[in-house]
Structure 1
């Protein structure tokens, strides 16, 4: 095998993202391996190891047994009298009693690609397996972390290390001095030895170290959600402009969040560029899971066809709440419905229409207003008044007038969006007090 293929390196998140996209495009393991410079068996092992099951919707399947067509068993339910074959019984679930039952598994899952990514049979109600790059990378990191926990010493090595190091530390010797004189005898690095002492593995403690007790604990790194470099691969603002050059008629939806004075509920806003029509959703926090829940709600209620037509391209900023573009782009079956792009850092003007529209929201909810006591009805009421405001940029028309011609009516019914009479439009905090 050539050295260019056998890299001996672990897969990165960007590698896994490519694998997920390639599976959706029906690429072979050999083609994927050639791009990533891996062996095809490595790709196969990666997919089989990190594929995750997803229960199918068996509401129209009376029985999901693989032997259903040839089964002729009867009266297996604790000896109850029954004149029907168990698989046809309406009162008994033979899947819970039959010792021969095992669930049906699609033949495509027993051979490459071993997953349902890219499968065109959306009507399938059987259990499915999907490969998700984010989940695979999280599982990999967790396994790597667990493997590195504990101590890499046998009981004998630990006792020998303690017998050597403990008396020297009690004599006031520094760690640098100990390692200089006994480097060959100590089976770990200086940093690891500090960790052993801090964990109480040796008989000496931090109090025995002359200087360590004087230092404050190190500030822990921020473990909150972040927009990583892998998230923006193929999704930068430059990529966005190139995409629009290729598909100039594509409608663009700008997206952002409006936060309150302190951690709590936030508002997710979306604006259709072709009509300046704005949507707003109340969320419990700024975690990516909250944003994904909104997307899944829209996908589920609107349907994949309507959703992909309304939200083909989404442009947003680099906030941590948008750190999972894969979940926003795909439905629960892994089918790509839209494309997410990110503005450049510190460049809110690249989605200036939405930023400008936030001014109307702040007329009703001034800065410092907490959203914790609000409900979605309050947010919808505010949005209805904002979208019923005539704009000079729209030649005196309202966003509602244009949206009624350009957007699907199903969206208005789902979100209870209704125009407000011109003379009744109110863009003051008093609007919410009327509720």
Structure 2
């Protein structure tokens, strides 16, 4: 394996596309230059559970939904017709005493999800689906939470309260001043001390720090840096100048039409001379899906 880096959003899109194509974990891992166990763990950890029905059919995952002939108290209180078939009922799975959940055997073995299953559109069982965008969001949330926590015991909290509250809240001393003169009594660094106070763990609050309340919240730096030089010769003014210099040059216009932000979209290609347009469906509006 080439590296041990975390999976990226593009890696997860590759995994989702591979699952849709019924590729094995080994085949997907080969594309990403990862171990197949990495792909397996990623899918099982970040899959999404959906309790949805199918087209024209409500969600019902009871094992006896096709053969059940019972009519009990759950059916007596049902606002729908009592002659309704159990497989169409949405209440019996919660109220019927004979309910037994049916679990699709596909979910207990690789690929552990319904992606690529030919029966998914007509299945009324609980579905496990791997969505790349949702999986990446779960990963980022876990990563943020793991780095956000502060390890501190109750005894340490009590000790800091006894030491800091009189000096900061009552006497108006700064954290830096307190830290310099009581460094041996404080078991954390000065930066961590600021984080503990900001988290609201101690009796000392940000309002007790005169300078802290005047600071504006820091803006998160942009994740992607774009070199402005990459736009040289590619602006609309450059295009108009090129057309003026080459009036007989045929023009092809390419655009993207989005419905739901982050969902599937259309890549349109418009040939201006014969006034002809074609469109291609893309699962995501990114560079990889346009290849």
Shorter-chain TM-score: which interval?
Answer: 0.5 to 0.7
Match of 2:239 in 1: none
State the alpha-carbon separation in 2 of the partners of residues 165 and 227 from structure 1: 37
1:52 pairs with one of 37, 48, 52 = 48
CA 1:15–1:151: 2 relative to 1, 3 Å: same
Match of 1:126 in 2: 124
Q: Deviations over 1:382-410 (max 9, x none)?
A: xxxxxxxxxxxxxxxxxxxxxxxxxxxxx
2:280 pairs with one of 300, 304, 312 = 312
State the alpha-carbon separation in 1 of the partners of residues 53 and 75 from structure 2: 31
Match of 1:300 in 2: none
Offset of residue 29 of structure 1? 2.2
State the alpha-carbon separation in 2 of the partners of residues 111 and 171 from structure 1: 64
**SS of equivalent to 2:142:** helix
Match of 1:369 in 2: none
What aligned pairs does 1:174-213 form with structure 2 within 5 A after superposition?
Answer: 174-176=174-176, 178-180=178-180, 183=183, 185-206=185-206, 208-209=208-209, 211-212=211-212
Q: Deviations over 1:347-374 (max 9, x none)?
A: xxxxxxxxxxxxxxxxxxxxxxxxxxxx
Match of 2:241 in 1: none
Greater length-normalized contact order (CA 8 Å, ≥ 6 residues apart) = 2
Contact 1:58 1:64 in 2 (8 A): no
The two structures, once aligned, show a CA RMSD in angstroms of 4.5
Match of 2:21 in 1: 25
Contact 2:114 2:120 in 1 (8 A): no
State the alpha-carbon separation in 1 of the partners of residues 206 and 177 from structure 2: 17
Offset of residue 112 of structure 1? 0.5
Offset of residue 13 of structure 1? 2.2
Offset of residue 185 of structure 1? 4.5
Contact 2:266 2:280 in 1 (8 A): no
- The unaligned stretches of length 5 or more in structure 2 are 77-81, 226-251, 259-264
Offset of residue 79 of structure 1? 8.7
Match of 1:254 in 2: 255
TM-score w.r.t. the length of structure 1 is 0.44
- The unaligned stretches of length 5 or more in structure 1 are 81-87, 230-250, 258-267, 279-309, 315-324, 330-338, 343-435
Q: Deviations over 1:56-102 (max 9, x none)?
A: 31525896533346x4653434697xxxxxxx943764545432324
Offset of residue 273 of structure 1? 1.2
What aligned pairs does 1:270-289 form with structure 2 within 5 A after superposition?
Answer: 272-274=269-271, 276=275
1:90 aligns with 2:84: yes
Q: Deviations over 1:273-320 (max 9, x none)?
A: 135568xxxxxxxxxxxxxxxxxxxxxxxxxxxxxxx52267xxxxxx
Match of 1:416 in 2: none
**SS of equivalent to 1:273:** strand
State the alpha-carbon separation in 2 of the partners of residues 139 and 312 from structure 1: 30
Aligned length: 245
TM-score w.r.t. the length of structure 2 is 0.61
Match of 1:15 in 2: 11
State the alpha-carbon separation in 1 of the partners of residues 129 and 75 from structure 2: 40
CA 1:23–1:180: 2 relative to 1, 3 Å: farther
CA 1:120–1:72: 2 relative to 1, 3 Å: closer
